Structure formats: structure tokens, C-alpha cells
Structure 1
């Protein structure tokens, strides 16, 4: 049964790439693939897959460079980095390149499929025409955008998920743990520092003064609260 979801498998180990592709196709995913880092960027930007499984070490270009380049080019879908356990990676820094999550090799295929299904459920935009308003800003979650003073402001997938959850829970105190679960789904690789980094970036897009946030307020020792009253 087709899920109408395309996964790009970027992996230079032909045996692993075959196994992953075969399992994904068995699960009903469409698959595109390459084992070359230089070809990977072109493939991703042309095919625009819903999910990218991206090896960290590739001939031609490393995975973090590929991820950073496709994000700069406007690609906003899911990127799961595949890393060997022996590779010492600064995951906080790599999240800034735009990685959605990680899975370490060797991995269990069932775990990989569960991770992909989790990300698809949380990250891919649903066909809902809902529009939210706060102050003089309009949030259009289905196209990951804000509109303010006639200008469109693009949001990343993560920023979009964070803001949407706040706008669905205006005035409610939300713990960091709840927010991480909603935005990332269950992932042991995500920590509060990563979350706070994305909140800082979101504030730069929604606040007049990000250093003294009006809408997205910090609740000390707990998390955050979104206040929806028109700013003076």
C-alpha cells in the first residue's frame, strides 16, 4: 500500500542502501537514492523528497555540508542523519546545520521505520487551511509562514511546529518536556539546549524586541507561555 511519501536514501554502502531501500519500499514508501555526496544535493533539490536519510560520511561531500546547503537552498523537509557510533559528532552544532534527528549505525530496521513514521506524523504539513493570528501577525502553518505588514516571513519546520503548539495553547504554561515531545516526538538525542536555541530563533521572527519577548515568554524553571494580546 503506497503512503505517497518519498524517502531519499543517501548512503555510499551499497549493501546497506539496498537493505534500507527494500524495507522502505516494502512499507509502501517511494525511494530515490544515491551513494555520492556531490549527486545528493542535486537529487534532493530536484526530487524534493519528504524524508532524507543522509549518511554522515560520503564521498564528495560530508552529510553536514549537504544538509547545510539544501537548507540554504530552501529545502525544509525531514533530514535524518545516519552516523556510526564511533563518530564523535557535536550534535548541538549539527542541529544548527538543519538536521532533524539522528540514528546510529548499526541500526535496527524496525527502529528506523518507527522513527520515519514518527517524523512524518509530526513534521509533514497536513492539508488544513487553519490560520492563526496574534497581534498584527498572521500564522499560516500549512505553508510554514508568517505574514506581517504585508510581508511574508518563512519559518523552518521546527519553528512552525513550536509556534503552532503555542497558538493552540495560548496562555497555558508549557514545559520544555511537553514541547520537545510535541515538536520532535520521542528522541533521546534532543535536549533542552537544542529546544531553547530554536525558541531564540523563533523570537527573532515574531518579537519586536527578542531580548525582551512580549509574546513568547519564559516561565522560569518550567518552560514557556504564549501571551496573545495586542502589543502597544
Structure 2
């Protein structure tokens, strides 16, 4: 059965592009094949694929520049960068350009499919608009926003994913490893300091006093817990 998920495979190596595209098609994904950076930018914005597999080195325009351009133009779907080992050093900096995750060449096709399935499961928006509530705040994950006192507060893509995971797991202890896998995805090598930095930024948007959080609480030596006292019966 064909999945209602479109994946753009942006790769100038024709053989690799064919192999990846063929495997994804056998997994019942709809595939859009693109061979250079300039065409990629136009096609991504025109077709709005759910996931983009984007090679780092491309003719016409480098992958990281394509990523930066489409993000500035409002593209918010998943972008997985395909990189060579020598490009690992640039990975952390590139998150600021809007890269969702990485896979390093040469990669195993099964690992690629597992990564994509993880993204589809957690991050590709479902039909219908989910709304979550805590305190006097509404979270609208499909538009990456909070609404409080009639005012809209924008969330970054990563803040949105972090908050959504907590709201789906209210009252439960969430380890840093669990959170990193849920937010960055399969086999991500993001470090805990990066995660904690995003949590600090998120607290500034959801807490009355970010230094003494009432919702997004630290569980010492483990991770975090989201507590919504408005849903609890007082003693």
C-alpha cells in the first residue's frame, strides 16, 4: 500500500540516487529525484516534500546553502543531510541552518529506512490539528506555536518537538537519551549539552519563572519531567 509520504532525494551521483530512490519506492514512499542544488531549492519549495534527503556536496548550490535558503523561505519539514565522514566536524554548526539529522556515507540502506520510519512516526504531521493544554497555555504543534492570554508565541522546530514529547508523556520521567532520540531521531550524535540548551530556551517561553520551573522540571541524574499541576487535585 502506497504511503502518503513524499521524500525528495537530492543527490548528484546518479547511481546512488537511483539506489536510494528504488529502495524507498519498494518501502511504498513517493519519491522525487533531484540532481543539483539549484533545482532542489525550487522543487522543495514548490512540492513541499515531507522529508528531504539532501547531499552535502551538490553542483549549482551546496546542500547546506539549499537547506538555509528553504528554511528562510518557510519550509519546515524534515531535512536529513547525507555527508561524508570528513564533514562530521561541521555538523553541530549546521543545526543552526535547520538540518534535522544526518546520515554518513557510505550508509546501510536498512539504517536509512529505519531513520526515515522514525521521522515519519514522530515528526510528520498527522491529519487534523492537535492541540495540547497546560495551565493557561495551548500548544499547537502543527504550527509550532503556543497561545497564551490571546497572544501567539512562536517555537523553533526543535522546541516544538521537545515540548510535544513532554506533553505526550506528562508526569513521566524522561531520560536525556530518550528525549534526544525522540527529538533528533535514530542514531543521532547530538550531545546532552545541546539538548539542555534547547530545554533552557523552551523554559523561557513556557515558564513564569524559568529559573524555578513549575512545568518542565529537572529530574536529577536522569533527565526531565513535565508536571501540569492544573490537572492534579490539590490535597
- TM-score under structure 2 normalisation? 0.86
Asked if the contact 1:9/1:32 (under 8 Å) is kept, the reply is yes
What do residues 95-130 of structure 1 show as CA deviations (whole Å, max 9, x unaligned)?
222211111111122221221112111111223554
Q: How does 1:129-208 map to 2 (within 5 A)?
A: 129-208=129-208
Backbone CA RMSD of aligned residues: 2.3
Once residues 108 and 172 of structure 1 are traced to their aligned partners in structure 2, the CA distance between those partners, rounded to angstroms, is 34
Distance verdict in 2 for CA 1:87–1:164, change over 3 Å: closer
Distance between the aligned counterparts of 1:197 and 1:37, measured in 2? 32
Distance verdict in 2 for CA 1:116–1:168, change over 3 Å: closer
Shift of residue 12, structure 1, vs aligned partner? 1.3
The one-character-per-residue Cα deviations of 1:160-208 (angstroms, maximum 9, x if unpaired) are 2211222233343322122123333431423212322322332233234
Asked if the contact 1:76/1:156 (under 8 Å) is kept, the reply is: no
Equivalent-residue separation in structure 2 for 1:103 and 1:209 (angstroms)? 38
Is the deviation greater in 203-212 or in 14-23?
Answer: 203-212
- Uncovered stretches (5+) of structure 1, i.e. residues with no partner: none
Q: Secondary structure at the match of 1:169?
A: coil
Matches of 1:31 and 1:133, distance apart in 2: 36
**Residue 223 in structure 1 maps to residue 235 in structure 2:** no
Q: How many residues align?
A: 230
1:68/1:97 contact within 8 Å kept: yes
The reply on whether 1:29 has 2:33 as its aligned counterpart is no
Shift of 1:135: 2.5
Unaligned stretches of 5+ residues in structure 2: 231-235
Asked if the contact 1:130–1:140 (Cα under 8 Å) also holds between the matched residues in 2, the reply is yes
Q: Is the 8 A contact 2:173 2:225 kept in 1?
A: yes
Q: How many Å separate the matches in 1 of 2:73 and 2:206?
A: 23
What residue in structure 2 maps to residue 75 of structure 1? 75
Question: Cα offset for 1:225?
Answer: 2.4
Give the Cα–Cα distance (whole angstroms) in 2 for the partners of residues 93 and 212 of structure 1. 30
